[in-house]
A and B are shown apart, each in its own frame.
Chain A
Amino acid sequence: MLTLPSDVWAMLIFSVLVFFGVSLFALVYSLLQEEEKMEILQSENTVDTYSPRALRDLKSWIRAHPGDPDVSRAQEAYRDCVDALQTTNRHVYTWTPEEIEGLDSL
C-alpha cells in the first residue's frame, strides 16, 4: 500500500474518478446509444433526431430567422424529426404522446 498524504490521496482519487470515470462513462454511453439507434432504425426504418427541448429550440430559430439562407435545411431537419416521431412507436428521446400530438409541421 502506498503511503501518501491524505490530500494527495484525495486528489489522486478525484482525478481518477473525474477523468477516467467520465471518459469511460462517455465511451460506454455513446456505444450503447449507437446500439439503441441501430435497433430502432432496424425496426422502424427511421429515428427521432431531436429531444423535445432541442426541437423546440429548432422551431424557435426557424420562426425567428425566416430569411436565413439555411432555413430550408433547418425546416427539413425539423420535419424529418416530426415525421419520425409521428410514424414510429419507439423513440430515442423521451417524448410523451401529448408532446408528439402537439407538434406542428411548420
Chain B
Amino acid sequence: MSDTDVELSRAQWGSRFGFLMAMLGAMVGAGNIWRFPYITGEQGGGAFILAYLALLLILAIPGLIAEVALGRYTGRGVIGAFREMVDRRGLVGLGVVVLLVNVMLMSYYSPVVGWTLYYAVHSLLFTFSAPGFDPEAFWSAFQASTALNIGMHTLVMAFVAGVLYFGIRRGIERLVIYAVPGLILALLAITIRALTLPGAADGLIFTFDVDWGALARGETWVTALGQALFSTGLGWGIALTIGSYLPEYDDIPIGGGIFTVMGNSSVGILAAFAIFPIVFAFDVDPASGSQLTFVSLPQVFPQMAGGGLWALIFFVGFFLATFTSAVLITEVSVTTLNEETQWSREQTVFGVCAIIWLVGLASAHPNGYLGFLDFVFGNFGLPLAALAIIGTIGWSLSPEKLRVIEVNRNAGIYIGPRWNVIVRYVIPVVMVFILGNYAWSSFGSPRMIAGVGVLVAFPLFGYLLMQVLEANPTPRSP
C-alpha cells in the first residue's frame, strides 16, 4: 500500500494540522484582538468570561460541529450543500443567501485588512518609533486618503487571489500552517514583555476582575452571545467549506468544534494579556476597535524599550490574523462558484476577488459605507446566514441523521442525542432572538431598515434565482 493510499487527508488538506490551522486561521480575526479584550473588561471581566464560556459550550461548539459535518457530509460548497438538504429547488436559494452575505462581509472586511497591512508595512519601516511620530495624526491622514485606502484594499484582494490561485493545499494550507503559529508566537512574545512592565497589573485587573452583578444584566449575555456565536465563525459558510475538504477518516467534533472554538477564544484571551497591560502601564485610555490598535498602541510602542521591534511583531501578527480570515472567507465563494459554474478554479478565484474588490470600493472609500455595512451584515446578515444553515440542518436534513452518519464517524468523542435539540431548537431560537434584539434596539433607524431589507430581499432573491436556475440546470464542475 502506498503512502498516498493511507494518507488521512486525501482530498485538499495535506494534513490534520493543516485542517486545524485553517479552521483557527479562518475564525481568528480582527475581533479577537481589538474587540474581545475590551468588551470583556467593559462587560464584567471574569463574569463576562464565564457567560461567554457557557455560551461557547452550549451553542458555539455544537453549532460549528454541525456546520463542519454538513460540509463533509455533502462534500459541496454552500449552494451544493443546500441542494443536498432541501426538496424544493427554490429553497436551494438559502445557499445563495449565505453566499451573498459572505461576499458582503468580505467586501468591507478587505479594507480593514488593508489597514492592518498598511500598519504592518509601516512597522517594518519603523515608522512608529521614529522621533516626532504622532499616532493620531498618522491615523487621521491615512483614513482621509482615498488613494491609500483603495490601494490597500486592492493589494489585499490581490494577495488573497494569489493565495487562492494555488488551491487548498498549495495555497491556503501553506499559508495557515505558518501564519497561525506565527500570530500566536507574536502575541506570546508581546505578552511576556507586557507582563513585565510596571503597572501591568492594572490591565489584567481591567480584563479579569469579576463583577458578579454583570451576570444579572441582559446586556452582558447579549454581548456574550454575539461574541460566542459570530466570532467563532458560525454561519459564515467557512466551516462548511473547510469541512467539505475534510477526508473521511478525520474527526469533526474535537477539531472542527472544540479546538476551533476554544483556540479562537484563547487568542482573544492572549490578546487581552498582550494589549491591556501595555495600555494601562503607559496610562493610555483603553478603547476598542481601530482606536485601540491604530492610535492607542502606536502611542505606547515608542515609549517601550525596543518599541520599534514590538510594533513590528504586533502589527505583522495582526495582519496575519486578518489576512488568513480574508483568504478563507473568500474561499467560500470560490468553492461554491467553482462547483456551480463551468469556470476553472483560477477563473473563479479572479472572478470572485474582482467582484469583492468592486463591491469593497464602497467601504474602502474614506467617506464610504464600512460602518453601515458592518452594522447591517454583522447584525442582520450573519444571523440570517447562520439561521439558514443551522435551521436547514435542524428542520430539513435532520440533525439525528447528520449526527449518526457523519458527526460520530471517526470522532474523537461521542456526540449524544442532546446535540440534536441544540441544533434543531436552541440555535435557531437564539438566532431569531438576536435578530429581534438588533431590530428592536435600532428600531426605525436607516440601519435597521436596511437590515430588515436584507432579511426580506436576500431570501426572496435567492429563492427566485434558484427556482429559475434549477429549472434549467447548466453543467457544473464535477
Whole-angstrom CA separation of A20 from B270 in the bound complex: 9
Assuming the contacts A11-B46, A30-B254, A30-B259, asked whether A51 and B408 have C-beta atoms less than 8 A apart, the reply is yes
- Contact present for A30 and B409 (CB under 8 Å): no
Contact of B410 among A2, A20, A49, A68 (CB under 8 A): A49
Q: Is the interface of B mostly helix, strand, loop or mixed?
A: helix
- Contact present for A70 and B254 (CB under 8 Å): no
Give B268-325 interface residues, CB cut-off 8 Å to A. Answer: 269-270
- Contact present for B401 and A68 (CB under 8 Å): yes
- Contact present for A15 and B412 (CB under 8 Å): no
- Contact present for B209 and A8 (CB under 8 Å): yes
Assuming the contacts A50-B409, A51-B414, A77-B409, asked whether A27 and B404 have C-beta atoms less than 8 A apart, the reply is no
Whole-angstrom CA separation of A36 from B250 in the bound complex: 12
B394: min CB distance to chain A, Å: 16
Assuming the contacts A11-B208, A70-B401, asked whether A30 and B16 have C-beta atoms less than 8 A apart, the reply is yes
- Contact present for A73 and B269 (CB under 8 Å): no
A57 proximity list for chain B (CB < 8 A): 403-404, 408, 417
Give B226-283 interface residues, CB cut-off 8 Å to A. Answer: 248-251, 254-255, 258-259, 262-263, 265-266, 269-270
Whole-angstrom CA separation of A71 from B210 in the bound complex: 51
Contact of B195 among A2, A11, A20, A73 (CB under 8 A): A2
Task: Identify the stretch in B199-207, B365-373, B384-392 within 8 Å (CB) of chain A at 4 or more residues.
Answer: B199-207
- Does B6 sit at the interface, judged by CB under 8 A? yes
Closest residue to B209 on the A side, CB-wise?
A8
- Does B411 sit at the interface, judged by CB under 8 A? yes
User: What is the interface residue range for chain A against chain B?
Assistant: 35 or more
A100 proximity list for chain B (CB < 8 A): none
A50 proximity list for chain B (CB < 8 A): 408-410
Whole-angstrom CA separation of A37 from B10 in the bound complex: 13
- Contact present for A30 and B255 (CB under 8 Å): yes
- Contact present for A73 and B405 (CB under 8 Å): yes
Contact of A26 among B208, B255, B265 (CB under 8 A): B255
Whole-angstrom CA separation of A3 from B195 in the bound complex: 11
Whole-angstrom CA separation of A89 from B65 in the bound complex: 31
A77 proximity list for chain B (CB < 8 A): 405, 409
Whole-angstrom CA separation of A80 from B46 in the bound complex: 48
- Contact present for B269 and A27 (CB under 8 Å): no
Whole-angstrom CA separation of A92 from B200 in the bound complex: 47
Assuming the contacts A8-B210, A18-B53, A41-B6, asked whether A54 and B259 have C-beta atoms less than 8 A apart, the reply is no
Assuming the contacts A11-B46, A57-B408, A61-B401, asked whether A16 and B269 have C-beta atoms less than 8 A apart, the reply is yes
Assuming the contacts A12-B208, A15-B269, A22-B258, asked whether A38 and B195 have C-beta atoms less than 8 A apart, the reply is no
- Does B1 sit at the interface, judged by CB under 8 A? yes
Contact of A37 among B8, B258, B405 (CB under 8 A): B8
- Does A33 sit at the interface, judged by CB under 8 A? yes
Closest residue to A68 on the B side, CB-wise?
B401
B249 proximity list for chain A (CB < 8 A): 37, 41, 47, 49
- Contact present for A19 and B262 (CB under 8 Å): yes
B409 proximity list for chain A (CB < 8 A): 49-50, 54, 77
Assuming the contacts A8-B209, A26-B259, A27-B263, asked whether A33 and B412 have C-beta atoms less than 8 A apart, the reply is yes
Assuming the contacts A29-B412, A38-B6, asked whether A2 and B200 have C-beta atoms less than 8 A apart, the reply is yes
User: Which residues in A have some Cβ–Cβ distance to B below 8 Å?
Assistant: 2-5, 7-8, 10-12, 14-16, 18-20, 22-23, 26-27, 29-31, 33-34, 37-38, 41-42, 45, 47, 49-51, 53-54, 57-58, 60-61, 65, 68, 70, 73-74, 77, 92
**Contacts A11-B46, A61-B400 supplied; 9 other A-B pairs, CB < 8 Å:** A19-B262, A20-B269, A23-B259, A23-B266, A30-B16, A31-B16, A51-B408, A57-B417, A58-B405
Pairs A–B under 8 Å by Cβ, sample size 21:
A5-B205, A8-B46, A11-B45, A11-B208, A14-B46, A15-B208, A22-B258, A23-B258, A23-B259, A26-B254, A27-B20, A30-B254, A33-B254, A37-B410, A42-B1, A49-B409, A50-B410, A51-B408, A54-B411, A57-B403, A77-B405
Enumerate the 8 nearest inter-chain pairs by beta-carbon distance, A residue then B residue, closest first: A11-B46, A54-B408, A26-B259, A23-B263, A34-B16, A19-B266, A23-B262, A41-B6
